[in-house]
Every structure is written in C-alpha cells, then in structure tokens.
C-alpha cells in the first residue's frame, strides 16, 4: 500500500492540473516527488529551499494574491518552527491556505526528537479558524486533501506513516459512529483506530472515528456519551489535546473525560513506531487496561451483561 505522503504527492499533482488557483510551496522536503508537477507548472510548484519562515510567509503572500497555497514539510518544521508565521501570515491577514505535514509524532523514531511533532495540533488550538484533518488511511488522506484544497479556509492536514488496515468513509466534518455500547464513548483519532478497535473488542463501549478533529464534533460525542457522560479520546499527538473540546461539548451535564495520547516527557529513545506506541501506552493492551480502569472493572464486560 502507498503511504499517505505518496498519496499526497499524487493527489496534489492532479489538483495542480485540475485547479489553476492552487500553488504548492515546498522547503526541500518531498521536492523530488514533485519534479514532474514542477515541469508542468513551473510557476505553481515552488521550492524555496530549507527556509521554513519563507515557506509560510511566501504561502501567505500567494494567498494575498488570490491563489490557494498548499505548504508542506515535516510537522515540526511546518507548524512548530514557523508558528508565528502561521499565526500572522494567515489568520491575522484573514486569508486561507492548506498546511500538509508529514512525520507526525514519531513516524521516524530513529530520527529522534528533532523530527517528532506531538504538539502541532495543540499549537493550532491556540489560533482561530483552523480546520484540522487527521486521516487514518491514504484513501482518507486523498479525500480530505481534496476537500481542503477546493475550499477556502485555513486547513491543516496531518499525514502519518501510521495507517489503519482499511479506509472508512470520511466527510470532512462529522465523527463516524463505528460501534454503539452502554459504556464510555471512545473517540479514536485517525491512525489510532485499529488499536482502539482491538483494545475495545468485547467491551461495552461506543467507538467513534474522528478524522476531522477541528471543529470538534460536539453533537456526535454528546449523543454517544449518553447518560453516563463518559468520554475517552485516543489521539496520535499530545495527550489531552482534545480534552478541553470534549469538556466543552459536555459542559452542561455531569461528565468525565480521559485523554490518551503522546506523553509530554521526552523519551530520548530511537527504535520503531510500535515501540513508541507501547511507550506511550497506545498499544492495544495498554489502551484496553486504561479504558477499562476509567470505566470501572466489570462495567464494560458485554458478555456478562448479555
């Protein structure tokens, strides 16, 4: 199967053919993949070199000129390093654009902490008006990229090496209800879905699948949380990133929220993605234990109830 980044290159190359108002801005990363597109559209495929402030600033200027910029590099260099450019060169200018990252929280664990960006979505949460897509499969990435590029707003698309085995239908706004149960509503974000499904096998929980996390689908979460008001969020970036959004969704009813994700502490470990998932308690066995403990032992045993 191709990766989300492969699909990004293929999809964006087609979008450049189809949509004359799109322009792609790169800072070396993935530039080789866009060589053909650059030959076809030399003025709309722009590699500024290893200059991430300019990557965002030039994208902002392209938006001011009336075009739709797509800016791409690793998440740590797209959102974290030029964060003030993201804040001022789009939001403050009241313009739109599409940020597409690769690398996620630890797609390249052997590369170490400099190439890890667990805080990207939390950072964007400090700004107004950013839609955040976290696809869990290359097919979903393609759908959400098209949705983002053909729109007008400010959109972040977070791509990852991590992927679920199969694609689900995604709409670019609502969460998808995959299982309904009497216990907590477990929200699995993007690539976390397969581990969440494995972790909650046989448990009496609801499972929601979120690929568009901002805006946060309050209505679906409220409906799934039911009378208990228990929500678990499993997200592939900084632990607790969506806890505030879930609390806000349930502000007028008694509720509890468990936020699971990537820990804040720097592990200083290399290795593999699976080893990092386990270290952050995001492997199926750890997730099952943490979700069960939150719900109360026995309360989730669907077999005992039936």
Partner 1 sequence: MTNTALSSVSADVHSDVSGGLPSASRPGSSPGFRDLGRLMALMTGDEKHGPAATSTLDALWVLYDRVLRVTPATADAPERDRFLLSKGHGPMAYYAVLAAKGFFPEEWLAGFGSYDSPLGHHPDRVLVPGVEIGSGSLGHGLPLAVGTALGLRAQGLTDPRVWVLIGDAELDEGSNHEAIAYAGPAGLEQLHTLVVDNASATHGWPGGIASRFEAAGWSAQAVDGRDHEALYAAFTAPHPGRPRAVVARVEPKNA
**Which of 5, 30, 34, 57 lies at the binding interface for partner 1 (CB under 8 A)?**
57
Token pair belonging to 256 = 């509890």
Token pair belonging to 273 = 């993605």
Q: How far is the CB of 184 from partner 1 (least distance, A)?
A: 43
Stretch that binds partner 1, among 84-92, 176-184, 193-201, 210-218 (CB under 8 A): 84-92
State how far the alpha carbon of 138 is from the alpha carbons of 104, 120, 285, in Å.
14, 20, 26
Q: Is 61 in the site for partner 1 (CB under 8 A)?
A: yes
Residue 29 or 203: the one with the smaller Cβ distance to partner 1 is 29
Q: How many residues bind partner 1 (CB under 8 A)?
A: 30
Q: How far is the CB of 36 from partner 1 (least distance, A)?
A: 18
Stretch that binds partner 1, among 41-49, 224-232, 263-271, 282-290 (CB under 8 A): 41-49
Stretch that binds partner 1, among 83-91, 162-170, 224-232, 242-250 (CB under 8 A): 83-91
Q: What are phi and psi of 205, to 5 degrees?
A: -125, 160
Q: How far is the CB of 114 from partner 1 (least distance, A)?
A: 19
Stretch that binds partner 1, among 86-94, 118-126, 241-249, 280-288 (CB under 8 A): 86-94
Q: Is 66 in the site for partner 1 (CB under 8 A)?
A: yes
Q: Is 63 in the site for partner 1 (CB under 8 A)?
A: yes
Q: Is 24 in the site for partner 1 (CB under 8 A)?
A: no
Residue 51 or 168: the one with the smaller Cβ distance to partner 1 is 51
Is the separation of the CB atoms in 101 and 123 below 8 Å?
no
Q: How far is the CB of 51 from partner 1 (least distance, A)?
A: 4
Among residues 8, 295, 294, 32, the alpha carbon closest in space to that of 161 is found at 8
State how far the alpha carbon of 299 is from the alpha carbons of 43, 183, 222, 255, in Å.
60, 7, 20, 16
Q: Are β-strands 130-133 and 212-214 bridged in parallel, bridged antiparallel, or unpaired?
A: antiparallel
Q: Is 40 in the site for partner 1 (CB under 8 A)?
A: no
Residue 92 or 264: the one with the smaller Cβ distance to partner 1 is 92
User: Site residues (CB under 8 A) for partner 1?
Assistant: 23, 25, 43-44, 46, 48-49, 51, 53-54, 56-67, 69, 84-85, 88-89, 92-94
């Amino acid at each position: 199967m191709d990766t989300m980044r492969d699909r990004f290159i293929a999809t964006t190359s087609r979008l450049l053919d189809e949509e004359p108002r799109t322009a792609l801005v790169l800072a070396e990363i993935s530039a080789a993949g866009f060589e053909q597109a650059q030959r076809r559209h030399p003025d709309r495929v722009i590699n500024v070199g290893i200059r991430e402030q300019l990557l965002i600033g030039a994208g902002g200027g392209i938006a001011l000129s009336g075009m739709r910029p797509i800016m791409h590099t690793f998440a740590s260099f797209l959102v974290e390093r030029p964060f003030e450019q993201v804040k001022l060169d789009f939001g403050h200018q009241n313009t739109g654009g599409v940020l597409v990252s690769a690398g996620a929280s630890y797609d390249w664990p052997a590369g170490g902490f400099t190439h890890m960006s667990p805080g990207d979505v939390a950072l964007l949460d400090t700004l107004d008006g950013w839609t955040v897509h976290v696809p869990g499969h290359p097919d979903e990435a393609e759908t959400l990229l098209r949705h983002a590029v053909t729109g007008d707003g400010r959109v972040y698309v977070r791509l990852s090496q991590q992927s679920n085995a199969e694609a689900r239908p995604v709409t670019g706004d609502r969460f998808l209800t995959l299982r309904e149960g009497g216990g907590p509503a477990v929200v699995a974000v993007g690539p976390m879905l397969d581990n969440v499904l494995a972790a909650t096998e046989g448990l009496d929980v609801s499972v929601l699948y979120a690929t568009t996390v901002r805006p946060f689908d309050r209505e679906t979460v409220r409906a799934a949380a039911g009378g208990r008001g228990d929500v678990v969020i499993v997200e592939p970036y900084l632990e607790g990133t969506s806890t505030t959004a879930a609390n806000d969704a349930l502000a007028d009813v008694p509720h509890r929220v468990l936020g699971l994700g990537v820990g804040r502490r720097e592990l200083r470990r290399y290795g593999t993605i699976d080893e990092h998932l386990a270290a952050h308690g995001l492997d199926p066995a750890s997730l099952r234990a943490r979700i069960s403990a939150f719900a109360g032992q026995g309360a989730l045993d669907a077999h005992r109830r039936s």
